[in-house]
Amino acid sequence: MSIIKPSNFLSSSISTISGVVSNLNNELLEYVNPEKPTHDHSSQYYKRFFISKFNLGNAAVEAKFSAPMRIADGDQMTVSGYLKGDSFQVLAYNNQTQQVISNENWVVLSLGAVFFLAVAIGLLNSELVAEGALIPKLFLFGFTLVALYMGYRALLIREAIKLLSS
């Protein structure tokens, strides 16, 4: 195992770890839409997260992606992410054995951030906010927070990709 290229980005330390995968455990986390009709068993009503927990050398690693990771025990990998608690959270990975490079889609997160920011700006210019109504101010605050989080997450993923490619 080797930890290389740390990068401090907005007070979050992004780094890469390389090593051989061991103790691989793949899980599937599903959320069901509560508004889904009970007789409909279509997969579009489920939100799936694929969670892979494994050791990379001596480090405990956890990866949550919207698609399953292409990974197996014994694969040589380099992952990029940050330390959270006792495990390393993966934002992007490079599986040298299977020749796969993958990450979450930072472009979609950026577009989502722009959308939520546009809604917040639209609320800011509304008459209800100008009059001092509480509910529109709460929505303005909420949409702004969501936009900032999505933008921050997109920038973190972009930084992780840059560390993997260099």
pLDDT over 70 (residue 6): no
Instruction: Give, in order, the Cα–Cα distances in Å from 160 to each of 101, 113, 141, 156, 164.
Output: 12, 19, 29, 6, 6
Kindly report the pTM of this predicted structure.
0.78
Candidates 1, 163, 14, 5; CA nearest to 82 is: 14
Condensed to tens digits (0 to 9), the pLDDT of residues 95-124 reads 999 999 999 889 999 999 999 999 988 888
Q: What is the largest CA-CA distance in the chain?
A: 63
| Residue-wise DSSP of 24-67 | EEEEEEEEE-TTS-TT---GGGEEEEEEEEEEETTEEEEEEESS
Q: What is the pLDDT of residue 124?
A: 80
Domain 2-102 is in which class?
mainly beta
Q: What is the pLDDT of residue 41?
A: 63
Q: What is the pLDDT of residue 138?
A: 86
